[in-house]
Chain A
Amino acid sequence: MSETPTVAQRPDGSEPGSEGPDAPVPGREPSGPRPDRNQVWRRLRADRAAVAALVVVVLLVLMAVAAPLICALEGQNATTFHNNLIDSATGGVPIGPFGGASGDHWLGVEPGTGRDVLARLVDGAQVSLSVSLGATVVQIALGVLVGLAAGLGTRTVDTVLSRAMDLVIAFPSLVFAVALMAVVPGGFPRPLLLMLVIGILGWGQTARIVRGQVLSLRGLDYVAAARLTGARRHRVARREILPALAGPVITYGVLQLPANVTQEAGLSFLGVGVRPPTPSWGQMLASATDWFQADPSYVLLPAALLFVTVLAFTVLGESVRTALDPRAKSRLRAGIERRRKRPEEAQA
């Protein structure tokens, strides 16, 4: 009793051929296997973890967008040194409990420099979110382009591009990211560079998924019908194949986002990410290693933010995947039925 339907490749699990005849009617929405948006929303709303994760993500995005506002409200900025707030006798430990938290500096000041921690955290959120979002967009764009080309191109094109995918996936991406970040001239804007480097090194998996989808979609009746009506190749790609890819690509993109947040933080932690004085969570954590005993709050704040960010995006990604997965519901139901059956089996 395999739970895997034979049409598993189809993003919405609809019956093959059911949309065949009316698909290529001009002037109408191509009724390819596009996930039903209402259904996806309903499933997501019913998932408590997804709602909680979404709330956290919205709050984080608000924090990043409103970073200048928050700084203005506190009356601080991320780069001003406050030598009067740190104890030079101990090498720069903030004066006062909780990292020197006060009415002026709500979350204290940075040890060694006396810069405002809250301002650096919210500015860091801006860097983290924009870089990871941008990198995800780059990955998806490259992945879809290459995957489409491989799936629809000639055999040679497919072979060459598939090899390229293997290569990109097998590449030690962190190694190359470090190398690339170090050799690009300092004048190049660092956040943009991070975005590009993470994006360019990470499109392989998306391309592989897209290629697989395209290959299975290509053989479907409605695509063949579109081709028979004389549609050119790029039209087939754009109008028939591309919309059907939305589901898997979105799912993979949302799951890729937290990985990119981690990657950015890691590169900044290694000291090749954004350059000071621009703050970033990874960089704060790297500098916090010297202050474990003297100022634990300076370690814990960026650590907690980073963890919550990645966790929220991961949970959201998993929920989106479940909501978009046509098999999820049947699997759930199968599980329930199996559990119900157990007592009867025991009796028998």
Chain B
Amino acid sequence: MIRFLLRRTVSTVLVLLAMSAVIYVVFFAAPHDPAVLVCGKGCDGARLAVVRHKLGTDLPVWEQYWQFLHGLVAGRSFDSGTDLTRCAAPCLGYSFQTDQPVLQMVTQRIPVDLSLTVGAMVIWLVLGVGTGLLSALRRGRLAERALTALTLAGMSTPVFLIGLMLVMLFCAYLQWMPFPSFVPFTDDPGQWAANLVLPWLSLALIMSAAYARMTRSSLLETLAEDHIRTNRAYGLSERRIVFGHALRGALVPVVTMLAIDVGQILGGAMLTESVFGFDGLGRLLVNSVNQIDLPVVVGVTLFAGFFIVIANAVADVLYALADPRVSVA
């Protein structure tokens, strides 16, 4: 187990390093000069050079990257020409556009994505696993065919499409609720949930389709295994066979999928956030990419990658815990 965790940590660090390096290279190759964007209109050569020096974009790409890594591990100082700013250890730098510390910008946005993920996850698990169970146990009947068609439709709908339709129906047409805007949980839990219902639903409806399919096929596969046949031979009731024996094994791949999906959404649900105008990590990334705000892009991507890699590791551990045939070592 310890060896496994160690190896996971090393590979996590390597993946994150590779990702940040790719971003540095990609943005260095970009034809846009962030200094021009920061400096604004009517900026002359001398001031542009000052701005470039302040942003650090006058250095070669590998040196910028090295300074970034150094800041991440040991902190770094920024010299704006007139004064020195010290940025402590996990330093992701300062936004080119707003001069805010990137770490703060990112951590401010995390509650939005966390709220989105948690609520949506509950709904899609109930919907998806329930549907999958039902369609597996009602094989070949009308209910199963209807469920299969519904899940196909769910898988085919882009998340922003369903979000748009929900907003259009409930906010613009029926006017049952105002257009959603994010309210922090700590401010008002009731408003928090009310405003999140539509985003949760749109995310969950899409995701549940995949979970229904996975649950169904996995359960059918488990029910065909020998140990279930043995249970049948013992004369156990179908209910005890399904819920007492088959389900545990059948849900292993579902749990794995869950861990990975949660990791993905935590790192920014760009499309959902955009539809509903929530300022989460995803929108932060889109905006900063458009403004060539390199430190913010790197910061958000690192966080997104971090969530995903951690989720993958969690999935592996869960897999091993749930299925005794798999060993982590």
| Chain A residues packing against B (C-beta within 8 Å) | 1-4, 167, 170-172, 174-176, 178-180, 182-185, 258, 262, 265-266, 269-272, 282, 285-286, 288-289, 292-293, 296, 299, 303, 306-307, 310-311, 313-315, 318, 335-336, 338-339
Q: Is B270 an interface residue (CB 8 A)?
A: yes
Do A175 and B285 form a contact, CB below 8 Å, given A269-B271, A306-B158, A310-B158? yes
Q: Is B177 an interface residue (CB 8 A)?
A: no
**A310 vs B301: C-alpha distance in the bound complex, in angstroms?**
29
Q: Which residues of A contact B26 (CB under 8 A)?
A: 179-180, 183
Q: Is B18 an interface residue (CB 8 A)?
A: yes
Q: Which residues of A contact B117 (CB under 8 A)?
A: none
Q: Which residues of A contact B155 (CB under 8 A)?
A: 314
Q: Is B208 an interface residue (CB 8 A)?
A: no
- Do residues B157 and A270 form an inter-chain contact, with CB atoms below 8 A? no
Subset of 27 A-B contacts with CB under 8 Å: A167-B15, A167-B18, A170-B308, A172-B268, A172-B301, A172-B304, A174-B271, A175-B270, A175-B300, A176-B22, A179-B297, A182-B290, A183-B27, A266-B160, A272-B286, A272-B290, A282-B160, A288-B164, A289-B167, A289-B275, A292-B173, A303-B164, A303-B165, A310-B158, A311-B156, A313-B156, A314-B156
A266 is contacted by which of B158, B171, B267 (Cβ under 8 Å)? B158
A183 is contacted by which of B15, B32, B160 (Cβ under 8 Å)? B32
- Do residues B139 and A335 form an inter-chain contact, with CB atoms below 8 A? yes
Q: Which of B49-57, B122-130, B186-194, B223-231 contacts A (4 or more CB under 8 A)?
A: B223-231
Q: Which residues of A contact B29 (CB under 8 A)?
A: 183
Interface size class of B (residues with CB under 8 A): 35 or more
- Do residues B167 and A174 form an inter-chain contact, with CB atoms below 8 A? no
Q: Is B274 an interface residue (CB 8 A)?
A: yes
- Do residues B152 and A171 form an inter-chain contact, with CB atoms below 8 A? no
The DSSP consensus for interface residues of chain B is helix
Q: Which residues of B contact A307 (CB under 8 A)?
A: 156-157, 161
Return B269 CB to nearest CB of chain A, in Å.
10
Q: Which residues of A contact B172 (CB under 8 A)?
A: 292-293, 296
Q: Which residues of B contact A289 (CB under 8 A)?
A: 164, 167, 275
Closest 6 CB pairs of A and B: A183-B30, A292-B172, A311-B156, A310-B156, A182-B289, A314-B156
Q: Is B168 an interface residue (CB 8 A)?
A: yes
Q: Which residues of B contact A2 (CB under 8 A)?
A: 224-226
**A272 vs B264: C-alpha distance in the bound complex, in angstroms?**
20
Do A270 and B297 form a contact, CB below 8 Å, given A296-B168, A318-B152, A335-B139? no
Q: Which of A180, A285, A289, A338 has the most CB of B within 10 A?
A: A289
- Do residues A172 and B152 form an inter-chain contact, with CB atoms below 8 A? no
Q: Which of B32, B289, B300, B301 has the most CB of A within 10 A?
A: B289
Q: Which residues of B contact A292 (CB under 8 A)?
A: 167-168, 171-173
Return A140 CB to nearest CB of chain B, in Å.
21
- Do residues A258 and B160 form an inter-chain contact, with CB atoms below 8 A? no
Return B8 CB to nearest CB of chain A, in Å.
12
Do A296 and B173 form a contact, CB below 8 Å, given A175-B304, A270-B274, A289-B164? yes
Do A262 and B158 form a contact, CB below 8 Å, given A179-B301, A269-B274, A335-B140? yes
**A174 vs B270: C-alpha distance in the bound complex, in angstroms?**
8
A270 is contacted by which of B152, B267, B286, B301 (Cβ under 8 Å)? B286
Q: Is B246 an interface residue (CB 8 A)?
A: no
Q: Which residues of A contact B304 (CB under 8 A)?
A: 172, 175
- Do residues A175 and B31 form an inter-chain contact, with CB atoms below 8 A? no
Return A315 CB to nearest CB of chain B, in Å.
6
Q: Which residues of B contact A306 (CB under 8 A)?
A: 158, 161
Do A185 and B152 form a contact, CB below 8 Å, given A170-B15, A310-B158? no
Question: Which residues, 111 to 153 on B, are CB-close (under 8 Å) to A?
Answer: 139-140, 152-153
